[in-house]
Structure 1
């Protein structure tokens, strides 16, 4: 049913692998692993507008949160009416609670497609092709390895075959993928301005926090190529979140207050004033004042008041 998705993912991997084969040997793990990493990077670049939309949706939800809480309190005994009023509020203000989940929803099909392609490449017999991957490329992918682990290898298969180098590499990849998943979701929730626990976006993120440690249990059955995709995607998300939230901190957060304080301090310093509002004394202040003191004061000739006799011409008696 999803063969069309697997066909697209396989074709993208083949195209990128063909380009990297001009630099690396086509049968090397670096060519196949690099194709997976570049596919992930290209996907995340396409998803940047969705991430920006997620940030706007989160802040819109924060602005509406006091009104939502008031509606929940007002209609706490009528959940149907409460949900209707909340959705009406969202529609009137152009807020979409599901918008925050868009990046995850877009990544999921690619993750499933890549998993299925690599799984079938791993299980393919000699002379068998997989979707857009020709039989020759299937054999090339099966032979490709990184530090002794093949791209289609899983931790479970390596353990059953007692391939110790593959066990170590896939085990490390499982641990890293689990940790990056946990820290990605945790960082997203920590910077999340929405405080409404019944918001679907918050519920999904809380669920992911609890599922992240369990990801390692599922990861032992993932091919090494899928784990590489997952680690690359999570690392990209961590860096992207740090950059966006440091440049545009959530309204009302401590980060925003610190940024505003730093900007005010910088503006005050530029205007020659200290943060307290007092003017700064420069090194040239004293010489200027000394020069002013040394200048001769201009004498003002005030008119003298003459006696009455001199003004009228009469003799003084």
Structure 2
């Protein structure tokens, strides 16, 4: 059903390989085929950059309407159907599409499966998906160190030798290392994205689920044991690209409120300017003269005379 996509991916990979051969690389070497897969990954990710920017804008809008969503959840907590209707209405009014948040990943997965199918076909010696017999044989026996491009960890020693590996044990060790790197880089990309999401929506109800998936990410490396080396190379390259891309885009579009928080933090810290200001205020207080004590005003009251004196000197 997806043969048309497999043909596009296989044809593109073959053309990139031709270009690298034209500039002087050995067409049968692991360098030529490995770089072909890396450049195919970079080409695909470049085409998806606008979608990633759209994803970031969607996340920002989702953050803006989050308080309204929380009010709807509180109001219709006993009526999930009405809650869904009102939420979709709010998304439409704000021009937000929640599907855009995961669209880059959804578009990347078909390419991943297409490359997996192309390399599996190469390992089986089939000339299809844009590969002729000579090109398929070249890719089938290309080695990255001692690991054939089309080999898997569960390949037998005989199969690895047939694919051109002189040391099957070392080939399996290299594949295992590639699986570990794949799982670790997957964890780092998810951690970077979740930290951003936490800063945008601290009360996201899906946050706990996302964290569980993040800590399970290293286990994804176990799936790599059943993948060809070329697919592992694709996955690791895609993860590294994602980390670098997210770093620069997140830095250029900081979370709203981050600058304000930084300013508040700076106001609390005793910088030189604030310290000097406090010192100046202290000196001003010290230099202000204390008010002098005002003298008490005593009012002299006339002394009362005795009755005898008031009567004019007494009787004769």
Q: TM-score, normalised by structure 1?
A: 0.76
Report deviation, 1:171: 0.9
Report deviation, 1:251: 1.1
**Which residue in the other structure is 2:256 paired with?**
251
Report deviation, 1:212: 1.6
**Which residue in the other structure is 1:5 paired with?**
5
**Which residue in the other structure is 1:59 paired with?**
60
> For the Cα contact (< 8 Å) 1:59–1:194, is it kept in 2?
no
> For the Cα contact (< 8 Å) 1:147–1:165, is it kept in 2?
no
Report deviation, 1:204: 8.1
> For the Cα contact (< 8 Å) 1:155–1:167, is it kept in 2?
yes
Q: Does 1:215 align with 2:214?
A: no
Count of aligned pairs: 264
Secondary structure at the residue paired with 1:26?
coil
Q: CA separation in 2, counterparts of 1:241 and 1:212?
A: 18
Q: CA separation in 2, counterparts of 1:4 and 1:207?
A: 36
* CA displacement, residues 131-157 of structure 1 (integer Å, 9 cap, x when unaligned): 211100011011110111110011111
> For the Cα contact (< 8 Å) 2:116–2:231, is it kept in 1?
yes
Q: CA separation in 1, counterparts of 2:65 and 2:54?
A: 17
Gaps of 5+ in 2: 161-166, 278-316
Secondary structure at the residue paired with 2:255?
coil
The structure with the larger Rg is: 2
Q: CA separation in 2, counterparts of 1:114 and 1:212?
A: 21
Q: CA 1:211–1:158 in structure 2 vs 1: closer, same or farther (change >3 Å)? A: farther
Gaps of 5+ in 1: 265-273, 280-317
Superposition CA RMSD, Å: 2.6
* CA displacement, residues 14-55 of structure 1 (integer Å, 9 cap, x when unaligned): 000000112210000011110100000011111111111011
> For the Cα contact (< 8 Å) 1:62–1:195, is it kept in 2?
no
**Which residue in the other structure is 2:137 paired with?**
139
Q: CA separation in 2, counterparts of 1:252 and 1:215?
A: 35
Q: CA separation in 1, counterparts of 2:121 and 2:92?
A: 45
Q: CA separation in 1, counterparts of 2:209 and 2:150?
A: 30
Q: CA separation in 1, counterparts of 2:152 and 2:133?
A: 21
> For the Cα contact (< 8 Å) 2:180–2:218, is it kept in 1?
no
> For the Cα contact (< 8 Å) 2:41–2:237, is it kept in 1?
yes
Q: CA 1:259–1:205 in structure 2 vs 1: closer, same or farther (change >3 Å)? A: farther
> For the Cα contact (< 8 Å) 1:65–1:195, is it kept in 2?
no
> For the Cα contact (< 8 Å) 1:178–1:216, is it kept in 2?
yes
Q: CA separation in 2, counterparts of 1:4 and 1:88?
A: 37
**Which residue in the other structure is 2:155 paired with?**
157
Secondary structure at the residue paired with 2:246?
helix
Q: CA separation in 2, counterparts of 1:259 and 1:218?
A: 46
**Which residue in the other structure is 2:201 paired with?**
194
Q: TM-score, normalised by structure 2?
A: 0.77
Report deviation, 1:73: 0.3
Report deviation, 1:197: 3.6
Report deviation, 1:223: 0.4
**Which residue in the other structure is 2:47 paired with?**
46
